[in-house]
Every structure is written in structure tokens, then in C-alpha cells.
Chain A
Amino acid sequence: MESCDGISEGKVMANIISDETIEYVGILAKLELSDEEKEQAKHDIGRMLDYVDKLNELDTSGVEPLSHVFPVHNVFREDVVTNGDEREKILANAPEEKDGAFKVPKTVE
């Protein structure tokens, strides 16, 4: 079976994701995964990297790196204040608030 990324499901993956890697990626992404989810994620990430390997087969020497998908540049604002005080609306998104501020668990430097 061919999936949409052109890599067949049954094929043995070239990229094997280790337990340490999945643990590390989980920490970076602030995700807590169950053992089952970790196995699934290892499999998925491995396949993604296989796909990237496939893309890397293309000879791109002499091609400028793409920095944006749209052929647009220089979208600017003038330096003029356009926003007023919308604290009430902004704080409506806060899980908790106190004295006009977002209240969060204690952070230590």
C-alpha cells in the first residue's frame, strides 16, 4: 500500500527513532506520552524522516534556499499606535488573573 507521502507502509524504515530521542522530543514539546503513544510517535517520526531522505535525493545544488512560500516581501506597518487598552478582552483568555495580570504557577530564575 502506498500512502500519500509515497513511502510504502510495509517497507522497513531507514530512520529508527530511539527511546532517548522520543523522550527528549517529548520534553522539548512539553508532551507527556504513554508508552503506546511513544511507540506510535517513534513510528510516525521515522516515516517523516524517511520522506525527508527521499526529498534529499533531489539535486538542489544551484537552487536558492526558499525562505517563504509566497512571492511577497516587505509587508510593513507604519509606526503609529492603533491599539487601545483592551485588557478586559485579553484577560478573558487567562486561566486565572490577579491585579490585571495573568496569574501563573511560580517561576524561579
Chain B
Amino acid sequence: MAKQYETVIGLEVHVELATKTKIFCGCSTAFGGAPNTHTCPVCTGMPGSLPVLNKQVVEYAMAVGLATNCQIHQYCKFDRKNYFYPDNPQNYQISQLYLPICHDGGVEIETAAGKKVIGIHEIHMEEDAGKLVHDEWEDCSLVDYNRSGVPLIEIVSEPDMRNADEVIAYLDKLRMIVQYLGASDCKLQEGSMRADVNLSVREVGSEKFGTRTEMKNLNSFKAIARAIDGERARQIELLEEGKPVIQETRRWDDNKEYSYPMRSKEDAHDYRYFPDPDLVPVVISDEWLQAVRDRQPELRTEKLARYKREFDIPDYDAGILTESKRMADIFEETTALCGKPKKVSNWLMGETLRLLKEENMEPDELGFSPAHLAKLIELVEAGTINQTVAKEVFERVFYDNADPEKYVEEHGLKTVNDEGELKRVVEEVIAANPQSVADYKGGKDKALGFLVGQTMKAMKGKANPGAVNKLLKELLG
């Protein structure tokens, strides 16, 4: 019988924090600056410069630690991780080895197989490196230190995951937590969230872990899932052939769906960590910790439960509405303004999702104001506009954040509630369509629909279809 293998996966997730400045200097973290325009002697490792810790980094790290059920080291400090590489101008990265700010936590994930807790070994603060670009013309590398010193937290999980589903669920959970805290936008594609996958295989039933490899360059959930399946297959094949798995760092090539060993930076694994003498320890008082705890916003899991309880929103809808903090904020603010959670949910789940999909946009990019959606809902409720017109107006709200009241006024879209006017138009339609009238009278109900459509068209959509239907029936006897 063929051997059965189990995959053992642990993740190292780097999250770029949403601070305005770098971790140890007052340089901007803004994206898109020309190369090296956000640099100073500190983040380019000039001799004699002194790093000073950004307090916000500590607060974000604490917030993420608390939200992931971690213990906080109330006495923590920074260490130097030594290695030579051009993206690292100091020849060491300031990180935390001995006393990371958070430790021993975990988050609950849910997959088709059920619920499970994934342990978090530690979370530490560190600085990002610069960016290297290969120059084809001169066959050299160009270094931009704008990202050098941008604050990161590294969230190190326990080797608790067993398949790609669990890994994706765990990453999604972390992403939600960090986004809700406002600590990062966590975009895999843009690199503000990066995951390295540590993977080994072992025979089912074995207690001992196999030799693991670390995979880098995974920039989408799909790439991560493919990399896990690919690396699992590669390791099993080696074991089946009686060959050893080598502990190494591999780079996933998502196009070729295969991982390749990265050229080992000579003895790169001997980092000779030691405490950074330039930085004094961080002491977190009980009061400070409590203040951060008190400021924690409602997280997604709590929000989900509250939506179901307070607004009677179905599971699926509540899931979609809370999947992005922006969407949840719009839902809550609009509901507070118009008092109609179901209607708000319908607009978000229906037209909003449709347009997002059409435009290939993320919910985080939604730009309209809740006040405008609330107004639109009120216009429909009051019968000022009908559903068809409302959809047209909503598009303007979605794209231009238009004020629905003004838009309806300016474009003369109000439903005509003048009965005399409506009757006149209906009579005209009846006169102009004798065949349909005959069909209807002959028992073809479909013909009525056609007549309603013709009336709506003549009214330029500004009629209440229910009223038109009723009037037609009356007039046709």
C-alpha cells in the first residue's frame, strides 16, 4: 500500500504597518516617490546616525498582538540581525529576537473541515529593506532606499496548518484583523502583506517533523495554494525515491508552478544577533497596555455576530458586508441615517457588488458617502423615484458620489404622480397599439406587460409601474 503523507505548514507573515513615517526616522513611508527621495542618514545606514523608535509602531504591534490573543512582553528590546546585502545599508536589520513584543497567541479559523485554532508563536517589530532593480543595460543593480526602514511586524505561526485551505483561512483571518485595526491595508499584490511558507511532509502517524523548506515570492492567495500543492508533491517525490529533503529557501515561480532553490547567500543563516546598543528597551506599563486595549475597535467576528443579532441579516450577507471594513462602515453609517438595514444591505449586496465586479474594484475602494445612499433609499421609499430610476441614480452615486436629490431634480427623474397626466399617456398607448389591446382582451396576459413597457417608455421611466399596470387594467376593462 502506498504511504500516506501529511503536510505540516507554518507561516511567517510580514505586514507593513500603516504609519506615516518609518520605524526609526522621520522619513515618509508614502508609496510612489522617485527613488531615494524618502531617505535620510538613518535609513541609509550612515555612520553616526541614531535610530529613534516610532511610538505608533509599538501601538500597532500591541493592537495586533491583543487581537490575536497574544501575551505582551512588557519589557522588550531590539536586536541586530547581521547580513551583507545591498538592500540592507547598515549591514544589519534591526529586528527582535530575544524579547519580541508579542508571544504565545492564536486565532480561530474555519474551513469546510470545521473550526481550528492556529497558534501564533510570536510577533516582532522590524524594519523593511530597500528595493533592488536590475538594470539590463549596464548589467548592474540599482538600489532605492525609500522602503528601507518602513515598519513591519512579522507574525510567526506555530506549524499548525495541514493544507492550503487552512493556510488561506489563516491568512484571511489575519488580514481581516489587521485591516479592522487600521494597522495595515494588507494587500498581498502590493506587498504590504507577504507570506513565507515553511513546509515539510511526514508519514501519517509520525510524531517527528520532516525537514522543511521555506518558500518565498508568494503574492496572491492562489499562488500560495499552488505553491503548497507543488512543494508537497516535490518533497513526497524525493522521499519516495529515498532522497533527502534539503533545508533551504526556495523561490516559487507561479508561471512554471515549481519552486527553485535560491542561491544561498554565503552562510546567510548565521545572523549573529545581538542587542542593538543604539536603541533603549521598550517598557510597556499596565496603563499603556490597558489604554491600547480600550481603544481596540470591534473586530470582524464580533461585527458578524452583531449584524445577525441587531439587524437580522442572513449569515451569507453579513459575511460579505463585513469582509471589508470599508463596506461594513458604509453599511453601518447608512443604516444609522435611514434606519433601514435591509434596504441598505440590498443595495450593497446587489448593485454595489455588481458594479465592483464590473469595474474590477475592491470594496476598500468604494468612494461614495453613506449620506447619499441613505438619501437614495429615502427617495425610493417616499415614491419620489421608482426602482428603475433608482438604479440609474445609484450608478451616479457609485461613480461620482452624486447627491441623489439634486441629480433627480436636475434630470427631471421624479415619478409622475399626476393622475391626469398618466391617464392621458395610457390612453395614447392604448390607441397606438390596437393589436396588443386585442391580444390582451383575447386572454394573452403578456400583452399587458408590453403595454406597461410602452407607457413607461413614453413617460421616460418616470412612472410608477404598479400604478400604470392598475390603470391599464381599469381602462381595458
Contact = CB atoms under 8 A, between A and B. Distances in A.
Contacts of A77: 21, 26, 52-55
Given A27-B266, A78-B56, A80-B21, 7 more contacts: A27-B267, A67-B77, A70-B280, A76-B55, A83-B38, A103-B142, A107-B85
Interface stretch (A12-20, A41-49, A90-98): A90-98
A101 to B, nearest CB: 4
Contacts of B145: 90, 102
Contacts of A93: 44, 46
A104 interface: yes
Interface in B113-152: 132-135, 138-145
Contacts of B280: 68, 70, 72-75
A100 interface: yes
A79 B21 contact: yes
A99 B40 contact: no
Chain A residues touching B, majority SS: loop
Contacts of B319: none
Contacts of A101: 35-36, 133, 142-144
A103 B282 CA distance: 37
A85 B37 contact: yes
A11 interface: no
Residue among A77, A80, A82, A99 with the most chain B CB within 10 A?
A77
A4 interface: no
Interface of B: 19-21, 25-28, 34-41, 44, 46, 52-56, 58, 75, 77, 82, 84-86, 99, 132-135, 138-145, 251, 262-263, 266-267, 270, 272, 275, 277, 279-283
A98 B135 contact: yes
Chain B residues touching A, majority SS: loop
27 contacts: A30-B84, A67-B75, A67-B77, A68-B277, A73-B281, A75-B279, A76-B53, A76-B55, A77-B21, A79-B20, A79-B55, A80-B20, A83-B25, A83-B40, A85-B38, A86-B40, A90-B39, A90-B40, A98-B142, A99-B142, A100-B37, A101-B143, A102-B142, A102-B145, A106-B134, A107-B141, A108-B263
A102 B36 contact: yes
Nearest to B17: A79
B175 to A, nearest CB: 22
